A and B are shown apart, each in its own frame.
Chain A
């Protein structure tokens, strides 16, 4: 068993890909689900559309979290002198950010859809909606923080013989 096998970058690139892929799936789900509610709101009160687009913007931020983690991990990949330890760390970081982004996007989608439909009838729902959406987005932020912490440990990997 060698410390730096040639298949180690597979896991590193898997981390980069999974961070982007899963957070984008979450963001797409959030955008589309809340977009259904916004389309419903738009037929009754078109002047409220800009305020009701906030779930869509927040879903975009979830995708930005995945993008930042992907860029961060990809900056630490190397063709040679790359240990399996670093590969697993990068994979774990990418998966942490990706799946929490998926969860956050899911939450933003459901909350955005329901609250935007309720906003047609009651305007005080707006502040509630923003608060719940912030709590949902913070889930993705936690995944990003854990990914950052994990990625910082990859630089202490041993040099390859």
Chain B
């Protein structure tokens, strides 16, 4: 399929590949230090932190003031790349964060209005940053170890605080929405690209809470997630947090009201289905398939979009993805409504037949397993008249040709099942198999003939055109120079002719003359 890699290429891998061995050693060296920090800019004049009194010792009257001071203290950022720098300061901040988490989680009445801006500011200062370039420009989430965030000891506590803050019974959405606004959410979403899975896990829960509590932001969040996905699919093919975002969407879809809004259907057709084209599908396929099935369970009428979409994006060269697609199809068929099944059975079973004839035995096997699923089997049985003719030729041929014995015996089982379902149809198809085969060969020959004729025609036309052009040119030249006509003027410029050679694609089979009357 087409790939759309328009990524600005910041690495220089092309020449590295000339010589493999230095690269490998570099890689290994890189993996050893799998910590990175995105905090490139530290405050140059580092503030010296001094420990404040403990929150639990503070008199009630001073509690909020102290809480606020601690929040401000936690706005100081530390250099975690240098693990021995300013240990004292780091420890003070860590303790303060711990106290803040503890306090928000356990005591009531702490979260009063003036604390909201301070808390959100502390969170923003700590978590919002431009994520660093990946240490490994060809980072493969399946193979490579992720780079972990070096400042995690503090960052984790900040996230924890944020989460407790959102989950606190004292939390007032009406106050928070002034500070947790669209800009805030956009920055939050960008963090999902973090390579550190721990960070993404926190972000997932937090975004879910924000979505749940701040109703005004819901549409905006959905729209921005759309944009992230579309950029991932069509522009960069790189975003670390797709699985996490899909997980959130899974539960969002669950809560959609019926009938589905056009916006949501559009999301399904134009975002979720195209997500299947991604190279890194395996990382988020489970979550994606869940979302797709959620949609179907909400509204069965989307089934046809889904199946046709999957068939459109069916993998051509990647068998691993093909197996995933088959898995998803089975999940869908498991919950499909019989009326919907009828609408898609024809294209679907053509594809399944193609999978059965795949030389990769895992693909063939995965497709044949459909016949072990009782619900699917019942659907097939109901529509045997349509489905059997679609798959029969393939089953018959592959049962004789496939290299893998397991596949052959699975096919025998399937054939046997069909025979039991409708023996009459089965016999008819067996009888007409050879005739159909002949017809197919004939069609191939006719096609070859057609194309040969078309190309001869093109040759002649091009010749005529060149001739005409030459004559005209001669005429002009004669006119300009007043020369007598020169019949042997050099044959010029054949170069602008299109490709004339019959291309190998239309297999120019011999003995084509007998057909076509």
Q: Do A and B bind each other?
A: no
